[in-house]
Structure 1
Amino acid sequence: MGFNDILEDVGSMGKFQIIHILLLTSPSLLLTMHNLLQNFLAAVPDHHCRIPLEVNDSRYANVTGRLQTEELLRVFIPLDQDQQPEKCLMYSSPQWHLLDLNGTHANVTEYHTQKCTDGWTYDNSKFKASTVTEWDLVCDQRSLRWITQSIYMAGLLVGAMVLGRLSDKWLPESARWLILNDKADVALEQLRRVAKTNGKEVKGKELTLEILKSSMKDEQLTTKNKHGVLDLFRTPVIRKIACCTMLAWFATGFAYYGLAIDLQGFGVDIYLIQFIFGAVDVPAKFIGFISMSLIGRRFTHSTSLILAGCVIVANIFVPKELNALRTSLAAIGKGCLSTAFSCCYLYSGELYPTVVRQTGMGLVSTTARVGAMIAPIVRLSGDYVSFLPMTIYGGVAIVAGVAICALPETRNNPLPETIEGIENRAIKSAEKDKDSKRSDISLHETHQSLMKQTV
């Protein structure tokens, strides 16, 4: 009896698995809310330089108390190219003559301006307060807004490494892993627990340590030594899997959070676009599930990343005035990246052999968090070249999608157990391809020979 047969006997998908899926996904829902909270906690309201309360010119000192806000702005704050008050500049001295709307004056850009000297005034109609208004993270300090998001993502990375092991105390280990690590008695206890929960208690009682050890005998012979991160890079096939999956996870986290942490940049109501970005995940994950089940993991993962990258890059060429189109393209890109995240977890878990699966998944999830941590910093490049951040996000996603094409398909294939098994499978596959090519060449030559004899 093989180990896969044992899993089928105790219930490969039943009440036990459903309960643990719910336990794992429930905290994930809350985590997503925290990851995207930057859009609201660090929202940037409309702002302009604070108008000085004291006016040095005694001739107009008493006038300021009688002027409306719009008139004061006209006197103290220049207008930008959109005829809106400048966010970071003010006149070096009050321009009282601008109150005369019927008069003719030189262009505003000819007046001397300076940076804000008394802080800023914020529009509190949408957001009563945010980290931006609390610490004046605007103008010369606007880059710090993105740094706060990177610090948060760095905290998630450190927390995952430090506290991640605590989760092993209440989640059951993989039975395969337990047997391969000389813990067959614990594996037997876990499998009987699974069988009881799934309503197959009789099958569970029939299991013995001898049956479990016999089912994994071949694998145990090749896994006497402990495996670490370095084992993911020692042999050619597993090294290719590690490098490609690391790139895929990094690109997915990098592009996903690069797109999702600046909803204000699309020029649409932030609450509306947040709803759209959340709603698009439902059909995206459903389509991804169907595609992975019917077509394959590799095709779905590669296509979702390449399509997301192309959509992100294409959005650069859409005029800012077309807010609806820009939002639609961004939503499509966000949906594709959500599909890619789903593929990451399933596809990578099926690529890594049992003996290093936990190590491999830990490594790739770390690279995803690194990508999410770097994404806000890349936003800073937009201060110099406006289209550069989206170009980088989209370009990295496309490169990762292409790299995934080098990985093997895992749909309907048994889970690999050992590194040696993966290497041998690759060698056999390569030899099979060579034999197939030789056969095709031989058939072609035979066909050519027959054609010559006929002539």
Structure 2
Amino acid sequence: MADFGEILESIGDFGLFQKLLLFALCFPNLILPFQLSSLVFNHADTNHHCNADWILQVGPNLTKEEQLNLTLPRLPDGSFDPCKMYVPMDWDLSAIREYGLNETTTCTDGWVHNDTIYDATIVTDFDLVCENTNIFRAAQTIFFAGVLVGAVLFGPFSESFGRKRATQIPMVLMLIFTVVTGLSPNFYVYLASQFIVGVALGGFRINSIILATEWIGVAQRSYAACLSQVLAALGQVMFLAVVYFVRDWRIDQFIMAGPLGFIVVYIWFIPESARWLLYRGKTTDAKELIQKAAAINKRTVPDSLLDKALEEKPVEKGGIKMLFASRVLRKYFLTITFAWCAVNLAYYSLSLNVGKFGLNIFLNQLIFGLSEIPVHFFCMWSLEAAGRKLSLMGALIVGGVLCLLTLAVPQSNYVAIATLATCGRFLMNGAGSICYVYFQELFPTAIRQTATGLGSTASRAASMLSPVVNMLEIYHFTIPTVVIGSLALASGIMAFLLPETRRTELPDSTEEAEGKRGPKLSNPATRDCEDIQATKL
């Protein structure tokens, strides 16, 4: 069978067809960050205290300050204890004022939320404070568990039913359960809907990148991962604007659902991967798509080349077994997966702590979002100029060092800490794009989605642990930073074991993936000339 790269060269490996497909698959990334950012804003804590309205029955004319002074104990710093109140006594107001209340208890009548930043969050609606203060961390973990499950479910689904269906179905699920989230009557419905939103996000993310990558030539292959990340960064800034002006978490969910509805409409018209169709033996469908792509690109594909493409191809089978049976592929998989896990753990740990870097939470999120836009343009340049291997090693090692340096700065120096954290997150984000590109280029077509799905599953497990890692700060504030920085450094050093895949054709067999392939030569005349010289030798 003709190499699919030759077919791409003939029909145009980055023509109008590929650009339209790339835009259609990258555009949803403007909305996907809304789901992650909502974990930061919708879960924001509030300035709360126990509801002590009982005292108004004996002193209905008390001012708010008098009410709190009589019913709430104070902390050593002079502020009111947010989780305790004085036990109500059957005294008149004069006795309470004269003798005071001394015995304390936990909040018996709920809480009063005095947040001046947000109108409503899940913390205020579901009272996730005091003894329930870490439940919202569980909500974050459940969301990331959904992302993990999505990667597991839609990986094999994509291999069996195609990349197209594996991008369409998740978007429908995301639309439905984003609306359900906004309508949640209680915390349990909220958790269930967020889990399914996570499943949809995990399924769409990896399959959309693979679908775009398998239609694009070697020179622009990194665009699918990097441009989707650029739009994701813009999406963070867009969501920041939404939350700034609309500070009710339920309304924000409905605002998210609007563009998701638009995406669900057009996503049904995207084409399948011709490379996958050929691998599955669906030659008639593949031929129609190749001819359609050539027509849109205003190119023609030679009949001889098309006939070769439609010849029966020996199919490698084995799935996960094939991946781990090869010593070389196994080494590649474990190395790049470890790097991806370290990237996700660091990135999401920093993202979920956006409000703890001393500056205003909106300013921190704006800095984080804007800083990610240039990193992916730089990433596209670096992948071609320095290569995949050196770019990944540099991003992980330097990013890990920057995270660790936040511990060397006085904790009162908020600007320096926010700057180092932003730069570390900047590089981790770039390393994530490189991992996406690397996964497509390291493994053959038969197990490309399986390998990517397994790697994504492991990385999502790491991201699911990020709220847990952040909770280790209760033992010492340095522990989360030491963990994420050290893992980034170690994975950056291990990336030395990976091969360089810049400007090589996507492998279609295990033999090619193990390194028995050469660099891509875009000029057929050059290939012919080299073949002649090799024959003479």
What letter corresponds to residue 196 of structure 1 in structure 2? A
* 2:403 equivalent in structure 1: 312
The partner residue of 2:277 within 178, 201, 216 is 178
Aligned-CA RMSD value = 3.2
Specify the alignment match of 1:194 in structure 2: 293
Q: CA distance change for structure 1 residues 53 and 11 in 2, over 3 Å: closer, same or farther?
A: same
- Residues 291-370 of structure 1: matches in 2 within 5 Å? 291-370=382-461
User: Which amino acid in 1 is paired with 2:333?
Assistant: A
Residue 27 of structure 1 corresponds to which residue in structure 2? Answer: 28
The amino acid of 2:465's aligned partner reads I
Q: How far apart are the structure 2 equivalents of 1:204 and 1:378?
A: 54
Q: Which of 149, 168, 183 pairs up with 1:158?
A: 149
What TM-score do you get using the length of structure 1 for normalisation? 0.79
Q: Distance in 1 between matches of 2:60 and 2:411?
A: 39
**Counterparts in 2 of 1:400 and 1:143: CA distance versus 1, 3 Å:** same
311, 321, 330: which is aligned to 1:230? 321
Larger Rg belongs to: 1
SS at match of 1:278: helix
Deviation at 1:257, TM superposition (A): 1.5
2:289 pairs with 1:289: no
Q: Structure 2: give runs of 5+ residues left out of the alignment.
A: 166-267, 518-537
Q: CA deviation at 1:2?
A: 5.1
Equivalent residue number for residue 88 of structure 1:
83
Of 251, 269, 274, the residue aligned with 2:342 is 251
Using the alignment, how far apart are the partners of 1:312 and 1:90 within structure 2?
Answer: 40
- Aligned-residue sequence identity (percent) comes to 32
1:277 match: 368
Partners of 2:126 and 2:44 lie apart in 1 by 12
What is residue 212 of structure 1 aligned with on the other side? 309
Name the CA distance, whole Å, in 2 between partners of 1:371 and 1:23: 29
Structure 2 partner of 1:147 = 138
Describe the shift of the 1:183–1:253 C-alpha distance in structure 2 as closer, same or farther (beyond 3 A).
same
Instruction: State the secondary structure of the residue aligned to 1:7.
Output: helix
1:142 Cα shift? 1.2
Name the counterpart of 2:39. Answer: 38
Residue 239 (structure 1) shift:
0.1
* 8 Å contact from structure 2 (residues 151, 453) kept in 1: no
Kept in 2, the 8 Å contact 1:382–1:388? The answer is yes
Q: Which residue of 2 aligns with 1:16?
A: 17
The residue that corresponds to 1:131 in the other structure is 122
**Cα 1:172–1:388 shift into 2, 3 Å:** same
Once the 2 structures are TM-superposed, how far is the Cα of residue 37 of structure 1 from its aligned partner?
Answer: 0.6
- 3-state SS of 1:53 partner: helix
Gap change, CA 1:390 and 1:82, over 3 Å in 2: farther
Tell me: CA distance 1:231–1:52, structure 2 relative to 1, closer, same or farther (3 Å).
same
What displacement does 1:242 show?
1.0
245-254 or 114-123, larger mean C-alpha shift: 114-123
The structural deviation recorded for 1:349 is: 0.9
Matches within 5 A, 1:388-403: 388-403=479-494
* Cα distance in 1 for residues equivalent to 2:24 and 2:367: 27
What's the TM-score once normalised by structure 2's chain length? Answer: 0.68
CA offsets, 1:341-375, max 9 Å, x none? 21121122111122321221222222222222222
Tell me the distance in 2 between the aligned counterparts of 1:332 and 1:378: 20
Q: State the 1:134 CA deviation.
A: 1.9
Unaligned runs of 5+ residues in structure 1 are: 56-60, 101-110, 427-455
